[in-house]
Amino acid sequence: MMLKNYLSIALFAFLILTQGISFGKPKKKITHTPTVHQIDDKEALLRKKADELAHKYIIVDGHVDLPYRLHAKMEDVSVQTAGGDFDYVRAKKGGLTAPFMSIYVPADLQRKKGFSKALADSLIDMVENLVKQYPDKFALAKSPADIEANFKKGLISLPMGMENGSPVESNLANLQYFYDRGIRYITLCHGEDNFICDTSYDTTNTWRGLSPIGRQVVREMNRLGIMLDCSHISDDTFAQVVALSKAPVIASHSSCRTFTPDFIRNAPDNLIKAMAKKGGVIMINYSSMFLDSISNKTYETKRTHLRQWQKEHNLVPKDSAAKAYETDYDKLHPTPLTNVERIADHIDHVKKIAGIDYVGLGSDFDGVGPTLPDGLKDCSQLPNLIYVLLKRGYTEKDIEKICYKNVFRVWNKVAEVAKGM
């Protein structure tokens, strides 16, 4: 009998050791650390997904300075170019479908009657000629429906926005003229106050926001169906435009000031929220100086120094001596660059304070080249941004909105308001 008891105890002990029998204590959960191969496989799948979405969805970019780049130096952008951030080959690789061609007019031309309008016309001519030269690659687009039709044909759309309202030249009839030429948004001013409004880059505060004519410009743009672009304008102007406009507005290439507190060119939270409340969209600029305070402070220090040096030597930025000095200065004081993750940080911030429906993309390609972040040096690398968003948990629907649906909503609403007026 005792032997049987000993055998029973021994058997019980054996079962405890081999089968994990416990006396009411919870079993320890066994976890498996992912292997390097599993992590690599997951990343590869996510990157593949990002590339697929970049080509599945239309991607609208609010601001690409290709026309002014070609104005300075003509290149064949139907093939891959050595310089710049945009061409047909790289756009196709990255999935960029509808870059708004910036009809950029420098502020200094507004002091010479007729010069602003003449340059705007020549840049519009240039965009039209691209389409005529390469009809199998590029197409004009004056509406979201045009972009959708071009996308189905495999064409890259070239909608147009005018950066600086100075070509209007205090003549409201010119708004109709530029609308007829295909301009679908106007950035009201650029680096200096103009006849429409005050700029973020100037402390003159000429009008304390919109001028009397500027208010008429807002109403006429609403009537015609031209989107009001709040990039470059002062905070007072921004607030007044949002309040006065009967349609939602955009910021075609601005980022969030919360990351660059001293950089007035970026939009503050209260104005992002006000714009969103009216249905508008802020389109994030990719430049490191817009994205990160360290990059911004270094760049602003450089800009202040160069302006002072040019003034002392009676030069302007386009003079060869001024360009040479700037090149040497850059070598000694390079602007530190951020990375593609920082663009996603700005998108996160807009999503947090306003909502996913109020953010888009506005690279500033060909306008800020040296300051573009690591991971998004040109339009071929757009899938890198989508990868980061997927990694952060953004859904396909979220990404579709960021890529084009949000700005399409604004654009269509602006057209609808115009019909009602």
Residue 339 has pLDDT above 90, yes or no: yes
Would residue 319 count as lying in a domain? no
Give the pLDDT band of residue 318 (cuts 50, 70, 90).
Answer: confident
Torsion of CA 197, 290, 399, 415, to 10 degrees: 10
Q: What is the DSSP letter of 255?
A: -
392-405: average pLDDT:
98
Would residue 308 count as lying in a domain? no
Residue 163, both tokens: 């950066």
Would residue 329 count as lying in a domain? no
What predicted TM-score, i.e. pTM, was given to this entire model? Answer: 0.89
Assign residue 267 the CATH number of its domain.
Answer: 3.20.20.140
Q: State how far the Cα of 387 lies from the Cα of 380, in Å rounded to an integer.
A: 13
The pLDDT assigned to 34 comes to 65
Residue ranges of E strands in 319-419: 359-361
Would residue 322 count as lying in a domain? no
The pLDDT assigned to 18 comes to 45
Would residue 365 count as lying in a domain? yes
Give the pLDDT band of residue 23 (cuts 50, 70, 90).
Answer: very low
The pLDDT assigned to 112 comes to 85
What's the length of the chain?
Answer: 421
Residue 31 has pLDDT above 90, yes or no: no
The pLDDT assigned to 111 comes to 87
Residue 46 has pLDDT above 90, yes or no: yes
Would residue 310 count as lying in a domain? no
Domain with 374, as residue range(s), is 36-292+338-420
Would residue 299 count as lying in a domain? no
349-370: average pLDDT:
97
The pLDDT assigned to 316 comes to 86
Residue 152, both tokens: 């189905």
Q: State how far the Cα of 174 lies from the Cα of 221, in Å rounded to an integer.
A: 11
From residue 35, give the alpha-carbon distance in Å to each of 179, 308, 392. 58, 57, 21
86-106: average pLDDT:
98
Residue 273 has pLDDT above 50, yes or no: yes
Would residue 320 count as lying in a domain? no
Q: State how far the Cα of 99 lies from the Cα of 65, in Å rounded to an integer.
A: 9
200-220: average pLDDT:
96
The pLDDT assigned to 32 comes to 58
pLDDT digits (tens, 9 = 90+) for 102-144: 999 999 998 888 899 999 999 999 999 999 999 999 999 999 9
Query: How many domains does one find in the chain?
Result: 1
